[in-house]
Amino acid sequence: MRYSLHVVGGEGETRLVSSLCSHQGSRKTAPSLEIREPGSDPTSTQPPLLLTIRVMKQLCTILGKATAYLPVFIVIIAVVLEYFEDPEPVRYISMAEDMKTLEENFKQQSKSCFILGASGETGKVLLQELLERNVFSKITLIGRRQLTFEGKAHDNLVQEVVDFEKLEDYAAAFQGHDVGYCCMGTTKAKAGTDGFIRVDHDYVLKSAELAKAGGCSQFHLQSSRGADKNSSFLYLKVKGQVEAEIEALGFDRYAVYRPGVLLVDRQESRPAEWLARKFFNGLTSVCSTSMAIPIEAVAKAMVSNTLLTPEQKAEILEHKAIAALGKSAGK
């Protein structure tokens, strides 16, 4: 038995499938696909098999049209992102030649630092960057558990295990450091609303307070693009609040880093995360560094900025400035 394919809607119906693509101009209602047995009643209920084929045909048509518009959609995103890019970070351009000199001068001062969040993605890369550039005489990792490393480069690391719920009892761990780096954080999905606020606000702020009381003069905080204490979004609001409250502590040098989407290959990456990384990697190649950035660039920027003499005690490095400074530190 043979079946015919009908396009129903608009000014009539046609048996030509090709008319689906051309029959758009004067139609007021969206067309639908219907498969009929010759001589059958159009109002009758279709068999399950025919209904399934109908749905599949409709999906194919919709996906086909969506795919055709995908390049246009990506171009529009690129144009919008370029328009809203951060101001040009001119002071970081062509700095690579001076970076080695800055590193040597800083190294001679025999300063020490600590890292909060060294077990996280950015913290691990930051630690590796500090070890490779060897600008500190002492590096201390402060965290909730002892970390294990391979290689002699980590032999001289000092590790302080603390209970973040009772940080006052571990004030000694924050004493005697010149520079502090904070890459600590979690997500609402992982820790819940209360857990997220406790980690990204309470733990971070209390650590900064103890570091200031212990003699730390520089504090470098990894935050997020769009952080704003007045934001209606919880994540950005918490990030903005802790930024402002740490600034009020009065460090001699305070730097906030607000990168966009962090590009990182997680070892236990979920399919959705893998797909998102691939998408942003491709998008970054289209519209420069306006939306996403490798964590290696963020780590390089944090270390390089430590070596510089800022114009103000407190500064905020937005996404584009981080990318430029990270490039200037390339080896």
| pLDDT number for residue 34 | 47
| pLDDT number for residue 48 | 53
Q: Quick one: CA dihedral 190, 195, 201, 202, positive or negative?
A: negative
Regions of the chain where pLDDT drops below 50:
1-38, 78-84, 90, 93-94, 267-270, 273, 286-288
| pLDDT number for residue 288 | 47
| pLDDT number for residue 271 | 52
The catalytic site residues sit at 235, 239
Q: Cα–Cα distances in Å, from 127 out to 118, 135, 298?
A: 7, 12, 12
| pLDDT number for residue 51 | 57
Question: Which residues, 6 or more positions from 181, have their beta carbon under 8 angstroms from its beta carbon?
Answer: 113, 114, 115, 116, 123, 126, 220, 222, 302
DSSP alpha helix (H) spans, the chain: 19-22, 48-83, 96-107, 121-133, 188-197, 204-213, 234-247, 271-286, 295-307, 319-328
